[in-house]
Chains A and B, each alone.
Chain A
Amino acid sequence: MGSRFPNKILPYVIVAPSVVIVVIFLIVPSIESVYLSLFSVSPFGNKLIFKGFANFITLFRDMEYLNSLSRSLVFTSFIVFVGLAVSLGLAVLANLKLRGAGIYRTALIWPYALSPAVAGTIWALLCDPATGVAVYLVKLITGHTYNWMTSGNLALAIVTLAATWRMLGYNVIFFLAGLQSIPRELLEAAAIDGASPFRRFWKVTFPLLSPITFFLFVMNSLYGFFEVFGLIDVMTQGGPGKATNILVYKLYEDGFVNFRTGFASAQSIVLFVFVAILTIIQFRFAGRRVFYR
């Protein structure tokens, strides 16, 4: 693409605000994260001891960190795979030409407006061990009472469900946008060829949706790793027995509750590796066409 405005200075001036913000608030702190990860820092920040890679070594020997890692992976995988599958199903239904389709669509996407903290609070209410409606319903059906405050895996399951639920609206919006941009002629051609609706979906719709699916895969992964902090904080604070202590929560606790700044920075670096891998995958396979928060 050629230069349409031959101006030597203006492009720098108008790109400068973004660049300045990126450098000051993103690049510099990230480099500093690397630097801090090599130190042990006192709570009030007045003492600094060089530790080399000790923080990283501690990290990967720490059963708790490894536990946190595996819990995060389970948590995020569920959000991504189950969440996307359900959302796609809902989007396909909502994309049908039905009476009231507009209302259905709105009724499906609104949970997107709920914050993770709001979602967590509401689910904490539903699952309150003493009085929650979920506990009541489960007791009605199975005759058992479950206490997710003592059962780690149950707590993880509940937190995961809550987080997945909260993302449905977002996923449906994008799947709907994707479905609506599929050229009708293609589907009609397939129909004329005698393909069943199910086959049409798999052979035509699903492949055409793949950029959107891929984009949502990345966004949901990022959500599962980072954005769910509020949900964990209001529901379980990482407990019981660290069963819901996903990476971002552990990072927060070590950095801002236990004041192990260096150790927390080392965790940041590991997280960065995850994001970097995700981003590379995204650029490699999905191209730059779909790219959105």
Chain B
Amino acid sequence: MKGRSYLVSMLAGLLAGIFFVAMTPTVSQAVTKISFWHAMSGRRLPAVERIVNGFNAAHPDIKVEAQFMGKYKEVIAKTIAAVKAGKPPHIAQVYEVGFQTMYDSGAIIPVYKLFKPGEVDFGDVVWPIRDYYSVKGKLYSMPFNSSTAMLYYNKDLFRKAGLDPNRPPTTYKDLERIGKKLVESGVVPYGFSTGWPSWIFEQAHAYHNQYYANHQNGRKGRSTKVYFNKPFGVKYAKTMTRFSNEKVYIFGGREYSANKSFLAQQIAMLIQSTSSVGSIEKAAKGKFELGTTFLPRFEGYPRGNSVIGGATLWVLKGHSKKENAAVKEFLKWIIKPEVTMQWHKDTGYFPVTNSAVKRLLDEGWFSKHPNHLTAFLQILSGVKTPMSQGVRLGNFVEIRNIVQTALEKCFAGTAPPKAALDEAAKKANRVLKEYTELYK
């Protein structure tokens, strides 16, 4: 029975390990520990660590502990669970669709309340970002990683297909023509793909100045009805479904999985969050020439603006004064020009303050990295309208998921676009109804 004695010794080893861990002395309590839950993975993770390490080094009495919690939807789920358990983190990074949930939670300290008036100049925050996260002009959560969507394309593949690499598509018509050309010339099996399909769908609404839901997208009172099954939404879904049938478009999965096909040069264009610009640039280097441009438009619609995506930092209640003070220090740190500039350079997320933008301009960063500028120009050249300031829905997490499913059904051909969106709208309205009932 050699196996058994082996096992016994293994168990003994394990038990010894347990005691070892249990006996490890705890760190001295003089340091204020701040838990910061986030969803930044891949190449963004070191960028977050850079910020946190820089902060910790400059503040020996505070230790910010950054915890990667998984995807956005998992961070908010975990945060809610932790609040219920009475052990909330100090700071949680929550994506834009979680805004209403956090706002209604009763578990947060609005950022404007955390700081004394004048302590931080929120006016310095780039306006579309500030607008998005403000209620009645008051900022609720700290802008951290804001992005929007833009179009990435592969100039080399354009050349191969006999297309002008400096004339990327600007309209959906162009997109179709160019996509077809790319596919027909055999350069790629599919023309383009997108990340975050339902977010891009939301983007399209804002970009063409269309409401996504009633009560001014939920910014004037709680939304009770979604509008995404109106003619514009249906047009979008129909167009994309047609593209999909023509192989101009291929559904690339949720979130960031389409990036892979773009990098493997299986598609020539990608509509994706600007926050991928850092990693795409790096990965494309030496393989193909990358171009970026504004989102394509449908002709004949009014101009709106692409909407802010990404996430902000929410401050949770239930901590000591000393800890809240430490949280304040950290939030001040992340909007320091140097920090936000570095964050932008590492990831492609917007530098969130005007002063950081100015310094990046002065440094000549944008002229060296024009792809980092594209989205910025897109968002600052847009029109400020209620349609493009961002959508606020109760349980938006679920609604986005519902829309996602509807779009997937369209592309898979299992439901006609109009029917799929109508069904989704019905579900979304039910979700809204349930939500408003709870928060009457």
Contacts and interface: CB of A to CB of B under 8 A. Distances in A.
Interface of A: 40, 42-47, 49, 63-64, 128-131, 145, 147, 149-152, 237, 239-243, 253, 256-260
Interface string B53-84: 00000000000000000000100010011011
A259 B438 contact: no
A63 B252 CA distance: 25
Contact of A43 (B105, B189, B408): B105
Nearest to A145: B189
Given A240-B251, A258-B395, A259-B395, A42 B439 contact: yes
A149 B253 contact: yes
Contact of A258 (B252, B254, B401, B423): B401
B414 interface: yes
Given A241-B405, A241-B412, A149 B439 contact: no
Interface in B402-435: 404-405, 408-409, 411-412, 414, 423, 427, 431, 434
B354 interface: no
B408 A256 contact: no
Contacts of B408: 150, 152, 239-242
Nearest to A155: B412
A62 to B, nearest CB: 8
A149 B189 contact: no
The list of the 6 closest CB pairs from A to B, nearest first, reads A241-B408, A258-B398, A241-B409, A240-B408, A150-B251, A42-B438
25 contacts: A40-B437, A44-B105, A44-B106, A64-B427, A129-B253, A130-B264, A149-B251, A149-B252, A149-B253, A149-B257, A150-B408, A239-B254, A239-B405, A239-B408, A240-B251, A240-B411, A241-B405, A241-B408, A241-B414, A242-B405, A243-B412, A256-B77, A257-B398, A258-B401, A260-B398
Interface in B98-123: 101, 105-107
Contacts of B261: 129-130
A242 B427 CA distance: 14
A166 B414 CA distance: 30
B373 interface: no
Nearest to A48: B438
Contact of A150 (B106, B250, B398, B434): B250
A259 B78 CA distance: 11
Contact of A44 (B80, B251, B260, B423): B80
A40 B438 contact: yes
B126 interface: no
Contacts of B84: 44-45
A45 B81 CA distance: 10
A211 B257 CA distance: 46
Given A131-B264, A257-B73, A258-B398, A240 B412 contact: yes
A130 B434 contact: no
Contacts of B254: 237, 239
Contacts of A237: 254
A242 B408 CA distance: 9
Label chain A's interface by main secondary structure.
Answer: loop
Contact of A260 (B77, B434, B437): B434
Give the dominant DSSP class at B's interface: helix
B77 A257 contact: yes
B242 to A, nearest CB: 15
B32 interface: no
B170 interface: no
A46 B411 CA distance: 39
A243 B415 CA distance: 13
A152 B401 CA distance: 16
A43 B414 CA distance: 32
Contacts of A46: 106
A236 B414 CA distance: 18
Interface string B232-247: 0000000000001000
Contact of B412 (A44, A150, A253, A260): A150
B266 interface: yes
A147 B251 contact: yes
Nearest to A237: B254
Contacts of B264: 130-131
B161 interface: no
Contacts of B125: none
Contacts of A256: 77, 81
B339 interface: no
Nearest to B261: A130
Given A150-B408, A237-B254, A239-B254, A44 B401 contact: no
A152 B397 contact: no
Contacts of A253: 401
A147 B398 contact: no
Nearest to B262: A130
